[in-house]
Structure 1
Amino acid sequence: MSLLATMSTPMAHFWLVLTFLPLCVIASEDFTQCFNETRSGLHGLEGLLTNKGVPTRNLSQATAMTYAKCIETCGGGGGAFSWSSFSQQFSAWLLPWLALLSQFPFGSPHRWDNLLSVFLSLGSPCLAAYSITLTVLNTKWVVRRFSVTKYPNNDWAVLMLSSLQHMPLKVTALSEEGWPLLSSLVVLPENDDWWVKVEDKLGYSDLHTWSIASIFSIVWVVIAYVLTVVDAFTTVSTDPNSNGQGLSGVGSIWLWMIPVTVAYLQLSPRCDYERVSKALHEANELAYATGPNGVVPVSDITDERAFSIHNHAKHQALYADQEATAPIYNYARFLPFVHVVEDVAGAFDAATKRAHNRLSVSGARWEPGDGRKIHSANRRGTADEVEAYCTQPPRVRQSHWGAGVFTRFLIASVSGLGLQWATTGASVAIVYFTPTVGMGCRSGAYLVYGGAATLVWFMMVVSSFLAHYATSYTPRAQQSPSEWTAEHLSILLRRFAKTLATLNAAWIVVAFMLQFANFYDRCYCNADVLGLGRRAHIVMVLLPSDISNMTSSWGGGVALGIIASAVWWGWINVLRDPLPQN
């Protein structure tokens, strides 16, 4: 599907709603009058039921009727459309949640990627939660990975790598001329200022973090949800079709937005492509390397740098999501980031072991330091000596996937899917147990949303693993048939997933708008034909026992959504390890 077609999808659905609204007015049915006439016996005794679906010819017990009788007596149209009710529900129940999307971090170099990140978040909450969890787990892993290394600038490396998770970071160990770039950054004392400069530049003051606007946006949503819950429980009616509309839909299915937004604000991701690129460029002006004439500025011997932002001029389609820096795209950078960390940590490992054995870079006698720092004389040498000092002995080649990748993947998957289905499941349960009990249009719409969101996540994750497999250590000119297939399948899956996410985001908004317009208030939806089939029936009036069971189910659904959201947010905070303090 083309970008133009994808972008026009939400607008197409919007016009679909506008098309339905006049139909709701023209073909509206007066169900209150129909129910009263039916319960009075005006339309005969055939098709009358109790609320449990048991046939009865006793009008005093006839509180429900079959779907066929509803069509016969009430008609197949929907309830009357009320603009005042529609606008009130839209502004009170839906608008606050849509406004909260503006608090999500962006920063990609292309506006389309930023816009698409909104569709991806709304169309697949589990992908957003999955990417956030990966970010936290990666930071935790980086801290632990460097905990065994004790060489100058070790802690600065942890801070820098953790901050640059949202960038397509590239590490160059040797320049094309053979000069040691990464090893020089690790070993040479002249590069101590480089590490400080990078972290200083990355800590720009107006990060995506707490502000008056973000706090008020979250508070506004919380208040709107609380009012929705209070409204649902205090206005319980004997008319089953007027109960829990806001609570079952917008009030619960989007609860995931609150912990996700708070997590973004806590993590304060450095995802502004322009600023991070500028910060790294300015710091690289201070970089030194051991060149042909001793220690010289890197700019004097090569245009390459040890750390840079990857720009894949070729095969852009494969790397598009890696280069999109909005945090939700971290799913695509997960595996490449692991290899970047391993390359840097490996250099620090080798230097740490040699320093521990009192071996200087040049091989000269070890000069004792002050007990806290390694003497600068021990950190200088020729280009070959510097490179050798940070090179580990040959060993069995590690997995192409990276260390601990699958454990972090499983944890992040459970985290993302758990939050997605706890909030979606809460919404489905609320509307499912609102009489008529069963799977209907509303609960079916929410299940479609949750299923599509999960499918988007699955395809995105599979595409990231296929992309990593396709970019193995084999030169692209020698790409095997399996790697070629993996590359093109990855691109296809990602494009299809983005299209589906856009459609799913539009679908859930349209589903709510149709609900507010009383489009679902019709015999087919109220009888839960979708789930009950031939046993489909409409409850005309709620009995005290029905109200009690219904409100209990509502309480369980509300509790599930709130507790799951709180637990997920707490889990993210438990996973966060404190970064080193320099």
Structure 2
Amino acid sequence: MQRRKVPCSRTTTIWLLLWAVPTTANCLSEFLNLRQAGGEVEGGTNNKGQPVNIANATAMTYDLCIRTCGSGPHINPWSVFSQRFSTWLLPFLALVSQLPFGANNRVDNLMTILLNVGSPTLATYSLMLTLLNTRWVKLRFSKITYPNSDTVAHILSKLQQVPLQISEDGGLLASLIVLPENDVWWCDLLVSLGINFAYTWSFANVASICWVAIAFLLTIIDTFTDSISINLSSPSNFIGLTVAFAWLWLIPLVITWLQFGSGCDRVTLHRALKQANRNACVATENGAPVLASTKSSQRAISIAPYIGSLTSDEHRTPPVYNYARLFRWSAAVDTVYAAFTVASQRAALHLPVEGTVWETGDHEFEIKADNRRGSMESVSNYIFAENDQLKLNPNLGNIISSSLISRMISASIGALFLTWGTVGGAIVVAWFTPTIGLSCVSGSYLIYAINSTVAWILLVVSNLLSALWITPSNPAHNINTSQHPRSCSQRLSTTVVLFRWTGKLLAALNAIWLVLHCIFHFSGIYDTCWCDTAILHFGSTRSYAVWILTPADVMAFRYPGVGGTVLACGTVLLFLILTNILLDPLKPVS
């Protein structure tokens, strides 16, 4: 008789019913039956893996587990999976949407999610660099008394999301700093950036954070207040605790970006700079300033054009890519800062831009507009004459400084601290959950933390190699082939791109792995003899699965449980305290 084919839709329905209704044998029940039957069954152990009579056993070896329960997973009912997923994972997935995005297309926004989730080390590194750069640039310009010095500090700090290009051709930079007609340019750009890029708190932000915080607190309370069953077969809140710790780094990242007010809309940012540059003025030979647009399309401060794959990440606006713009941005700040420093020093000596008579202002430190006007030659010489360090020089000494290295090291410490402090808490709790040792659960969290760190290292090294061999202050951003052979430059270019894409791919796979790990954990896929016996830690000959906990075991587990909680929560608390210290702003621009 011909066998009738089952329609695809019916097959899917049957599969869902198999998940909804447990069809596998309950391994704990089989173990209890073995204890009750007694006899000469080999494989019974105590909770330390020492052989005992099966009637007194609280655990069993890997071999006995395979014979009793089989080698497959014991899938949880759908009600258990859905309850765990919605309680422990869904709030964090919703909170991911509160991270700053703003890319040009959906693919880049998706990659932003994968980079943040797949490598919290990289996400934290970019955040710490942004905060440290902001504090650094504002502190530097706070010591300068020349007009607009406080304004430019705030502008440069907000322009960390684009690759800056500084140009002195035709006296553009000198005119922008010296001419009083350009005071409006600085104020308009600051207002535009301040209004359009204020990533402020909203009801959605607060609701998402509160949802996660409440779910996390309830998980902790339930874990340490509910009486623990004498067996490990029932759903345990320790599962939720490890999942919460593995995602806990997300809370301080979202809170800090909201406090920092990170703007990340590429289109609006480009429009703000373009609109401000329409009003930029430049000095002329006869001393009468004109709009820079009447001379050329170049501007003193602009966004560098896209050149190729080597600089592609610099043009991606989401703040997670701020690490890729570090060297170019720092070089631009150094150039602008040096120009303002020279102008401030000359003004302190009462040296006007043109002529020898200094017009005294109404106040002691006021610089009258007449002292800041002059011809193109006078304006350029006011800043750049006998000041070679201001020239746009691509030498390595102008790219990497001790201050930049210090910021990179500090940001690296903060990134590693948050990643390993939170995920480390999950590893500790999972490691000491019986059977104690390296298991599928603790091993998965360990793999996630390692992959996060390796992806961050690959991307940072790629950025460093790019900075060492590429001229960040050169508008064309070309490889310096005069110092390095062409073949060597091509190999270096290939290495930079390879490291970058390897790091991104690893981060993307790591993000997917974290979500899949949680699903495996909730659904019971990890509930196999191979995972339950911690075979990764003990090997197949000495591994054993604990099924019955004694009161002593329960009390002993509370210490690593509390330790993991203190580690993860303490890390988040210390990180928020540190970032709030770094967020301490200077006085607002008057």
- Select 1:215's aligned residue among 206, 213, 216: 206
Q: Shift of the alpha carbon at 1:492?
A: 1.0
d(CA) in 2 for partners of 1:410, 1:279: 33
Q: What is residue 557 of structure 2 aligned with on the other side?
A: 550
Is residue 67–residue 527 contact of structure 1 (8 Å, CA) maintained in 2?
yes
- Select 1:291's aligned residue among 284, 297, 308: 284
1:330 maps onto 2:307 in alignment: no
Is residue 136–residue 576 contact of structure 1 (8 Å, CA) maintained in 2?
yes
Structure 1 residues 501 and 329 mapped into 2: Cα distance closer, same or farther (>3 Å)? same
1:385 maps onto 2:378 in alignment: yes
Q: What is residue 364 of structure 1 aligned with on the other side?
A: 356
Q: What is residue 34 of structure 1 aligned with on the other side?
A: 30
Q: What is residue 54 of structure 1 aligned with on the other side?
A: 50
Is residue 169–residue 308 contact of structure 1 (8 Å, CA) maintained in 2?
yes
d(CA) in 2 for partners of 1:118, 1:37: 49
d(CA) in 2 for partners of 1:26, 1:87: 15
Deviation sequence 1:34-71 (CA, Å, 0-9, x none): 120122245633111111111122723x2111111111
Q: Shift of the alpha carbon at 1:577?
A: 3.9
d(CA) in 2 for partners of 1:344, 1:524: 62
Is residue 129–residue 416 contact of structure 1 (8 Å, CA) maintained in 2?
yes
- Whichever residue aligns with residue 140 of structure 1, its letter is R
Most deviating of 540-549 and 242-251: 242-251
Q: Shift of the alpha carbon at 1:457?
A: 0.5
Structure 1 residues 440 and 412 mapped into 2: Cα distance closer, same or farther (>3 Å)? same
- Whichever residue aligns with residue 72 of structure 1, its letter is R
- Select 2:185's aligned residue among 179, 194, 209: 194
Q: Could you say what the CA RMSD is over the residues aligned between the two structures, in angstroms?
A: 2.2
d(CA) in 2 for partners of 1:460, 1:331: 9
- Select 1:304's aligned residue among 292, 298, 307: 298
Deviation sequence 1:446-471 (CA, Å, 0-9, x none): 11111111111000100110111121
Q: What is residue 522 of structure 1 aligned with on the other side?
A: 528
Q: What is residue 8 of structure 1 aligned with on the other side?
A: none
| Gaps in structure 1 of 5+ consecutive residues | 1-17
Q: Shift of the alpha carbon at 1:475?
A: 5.2
Is residue 189–residue 379 contact of structure 1 (8 Å, CA) maintained in 2?
yes
Q: Secondary structure at the match of 1:204?
A: helix
d(CA) in 2 for partners of 1:406, 1:170: 22
- Whichever residue aligns with residue 580 of structure 2, its letter is N
Q: What is residue 503 of structure 2 aligned with on the other side?
A: 497
Q: What is residue 481 of structure 2 aligned with on the other side?
A: 478
1:532 maps onto 2:532 in alignment: no
Most deviating of 155-164 and 532-541: 532-541
| Gaps in structure 2 of 5+ consecutive residues | 1-13
Most deviating of 420-429 and 71-80: 71-80
1:225 maps onto 2:216 in alignment: yes
1:139 maps onto 2:138 in alignment: no
Most deviating of 407-416 and 552-561: 552-561
Aligned length: 558
Is residue 49–residue 65 contact of structure 1 (8 Å, CA) maintained in 2?
yes
Deviation sequence 1:507-541 (CA, Å, 0-9, x none): 11011111111111111111100111132111120
- Whichever residue aligns with residue 207 of structure 1, its letter is A
d(CA) in 1 for partners of 2:68, 2:221: 35
- Whichever residue aligns with residue 276 of structure 1, its letter is L
1:561 maps onto 2:579 in alignment: no
Is residue 20–residue 78 contact of structure 2 (8 Å, CA) maintained in 1?
no
1:346 maps onto 2:338 in alignment: yes
TM-score, normalising length from structure 1? 0.92
d(CA) in 2 for partners of 1:310, 1:21: 57
d(CA) in 1 for partners of 2:158, 2:508: 29
Is residue 331–residue 398 contact of structure 2 (8 Å, CA) maintained in 1?
no
1:87 maps onto 2:116 in alignment: no
Is residue 101–residue 118 contact of structure 1 (8 Å, CA) maintained in 2?
yes
Is residue 49–residue 64 contact of structure 1 (8 Å, CA) maintained in 2?
yes
Q: Shift of the alpha carbon at 1:498?
A: 1.0
Q: What is residue 320 of structure 1 aligned with on the other side?
A: 312
d(CA) in 2 for partners of 1:44, 1:385: 102
Q: Percent identity?
A: 38
Q: Secondary structure at the match of 2:264?
A: coil
Alignment of 1:116-265 (within 5 A): 116-174=111-169, 179-204=170-195, 207-233=198-224, 234-242=226-234, 243-265=236-258
d(CA) in 1 for partners of 2:31, 2:16: 25
Structure 1 residues 58 and 514 mapped into 2: Cα distance closer, same or farther (>3 Å)? closer
d(CA) in 1 for partners of 2:344, 2:321: 34
Q: Secondary structure at the match of 1:170?
A: strand
Q: Shift of the alpha carbon at 1:24?
A: 10
Structure 1 residues 235 and 488 mapped into 2: Cα distance closer, same or farther (>3 Å)? farther
Is residue 114–residue 507 contact of structure 2 (8 Å, CA) maintained in 1?
yes
Is residue 168–residue 310 contact of structure 1 (8 Å, CA) maintained in 2?
yes
d(CA) in 2 for partners of 1:141, 1:68: 61
Most deviating of 75-84 and 88-97: 75-84
- Whichever residue aligns with residue 197 of structure 1, its letter is D
